[in-house]
Structure 1
Amino acid sequence: MIDRLDLQPGATVLEVGCGTGRNLIRAARAWPDARFYGLDISAAMLTTARAKVAAAGLPGRITLAQADAADFDPVALFGIARFDRVVFSYTLSMIPPWRAALQQGLAVTAANGRLAVMDFGTQGGWPAWWRTAFLAWLRHFDVTPRADLAEEVASLATLANRQADTRALWGGYACEATIA
């Protein structure tokens, strides 16, 4: 997903649910002419992210803030109303109001921008024993794959007069979706 961001110089990228900042650091290295922003509801995750961003020598290119994925003001947090790319990486499955978070992400995506999602799938292409065990393991960490993610993405894209693309990866292990 990071490799396919297709960023122009000066582009802005927001990762919703940035956790420890791993994706932001990788993306900032891959796209040195872009600016990166991350938000997370967890103060502990952001403490780790700030330390990792500093250790990577990227505090001037990555800005972090604490906020709720389903209800945040990007201008108050970052001084930017819309982003060229908004990314959710394995986060919607951990956000209880995931539909509201997805709506909020699309709302802060620039008119010519793209929203990208990568998350756990429902394991539909895997043997039943794997699916049952893996989904139980995910539940242990309060992770719930969103079985209707593709439908929600398609619906939001239609309402916003945009195009949606969703595909299952690796036998349903993951789901990738974009709204452009």
Structure 2
Amino acid sequence: MKKPTPYTVSARLYDLISFEWPVYGAGRSTAISLLDLAPGSHVLDMGCGTGLNFPLLQRQIGPRGSITGVDASAQMLAQARQRADSAGWSNVTLIEADATAVNPAALTPHQRFDAAIATYALSLMPTWQTALLTMISATRPGGQIAVVDMRTPTGAAAVWTPLARLACRLGRSDIEAHPWSDMPQRLARVRSASVRGGHIQIRVGSVGRDGDSVPERDAALDPPRQR
């Protein structure tokens, strides 16, 4: 019997209960803005869920580009397919797979992606490092990797820490995972941003010519705070 994912029951309600508008949408929009994808780009969305990244990605890549969404939950993918079909996006491919076990070659039968993104997904995975390496392997040299995930708020926003921890616990995310931490060793020119009092961390880096690590790292890039 197939093991249920955390969102087997809540997939249909996910967009309503995920605090997308007041909190977590800011991380998606910041990351995709930093990617600044060219029209016609091909993007891997690892742990795509219900496809909340799709509208923002489509605005950049256009109909000549494509999105390949990967998720372990058939129920979440059903919502993603409904989103794509309702919008008339024929350039979306959905794959039901465990991001920590899928073969990168199975995701890119013809050519590697121009970019890969994971938003609030890696912290759900005990072996998120494997999923990150798969994203890198599936992306062409010079392509971009974006990771958006959570940590405890800092500074004045630390007062919201109990609520942030509760939200992560309900979603079965590990707020202490910090899955962006391997990116400076794996990618070149890693740019960083944070929103919502540091609760949401964004990293975007480039795949090196050897497909692995390049030592250069940019200073932090913090866009204007989103409210």
Report if TM-score (shorter chain) is over 0.5.
Answer: yes
Equivalent residue for 2:200, pick from 163, 174, 178 = 174
- Taking structure 2 as the reference length, what is the TM-score of the superposition? 0.69
Within a 5 Å distance, the mapping from 1:29-40 to structure 2 comes to: 29-32=59-62, 33-40=64-71
Q: Is the 8 A contact 1:75 1:81 kept in 2?
A: no
Among candidates 5, 10, 17, match of residue 40 of structure 2? 10
Kindly indicate whether residue 109 of structure 2 is the aligned counterpart of residue 79 of structure 1: yes
TM-score by length of 1: 0.85
* Match status 1:117 vs 2:147: yes
Q: Residue type matched to 2:78 in 1? A: T
Report the equivalent of 1:156.
186
Counterpart CA distance in 2 for 1:139 and 1:76 is 32
Gaps of 5+ in 2: 1-30, 207-227
Q: Are 2:191 and 1:165 equivalent residues in the alignment?
A: yes
Deviation of 1:28 (Å): 1.5
> Which residue identity lines up with residue 202 of structure 2 in the other structure?
E
- Per-residue Cα deviation, 1:18-74 (whole angstroms, up to 9, x for no partner): 11112123311443132111110101111111111111111x211111111122234
SS of the equivalent of 1:118 reads strand
Deviates more, 1:35-44 or 1:128-137: 128-137
Residue of structure 2 aligned with 1:101, choices 110, 121, 131:
131
Partner of 1:53: 84
**CA distance 1:40–1:126, shift in 2 (3 Å):** farther
Alpha-carbon distance in structure 1 between the residues aligned to 2:174 and 2:156: 17
Q: Helix, strand or coil for the counterpart of 1:15?
A: strand
Which residue of 49, 53, 64 maps to 1:19? 49
Contact kept in structure 1, 2:151 and 2:178, CA below 8 Å: no
Q: What does the per-residue CA deviation read over 1:128-173, in whole Å, with 9 as the maximum and x for residues that have no partner?
A: 442123213321221122454443212223xxxx232333333212
Say which is worse superposed, 91-100 or 117-126, in terms of deviation: 117-126
Structure 1: distance between partners of 2:68 and 2:101: 16
Alignment CA distance shift 1:140-1:6 (3 Å): closer
Q: 1:167 to 1:146 in 2, by over 3 A?
A: farther
* Alignment CA distance shift 1:80-1:25 (3 Å): farther
Cα 1:96–1:81 change in 2 (3 A) is farther
Q: Is the 8 A contact 1:74 1:80 kept in 2?
A: no
**Count of residue correspondences:** 175
Structure 1 CA distance for aligned equivalents of residues 55 and 168 of structure 2: 25
User: Residue 70 of structure 1: SS of its match in structure 2?
Assistant: coil
SS in 1 for 2:106: helix
Aligned with 2:144: secondary structure?
strand
Match of 2:166 in 1: 136
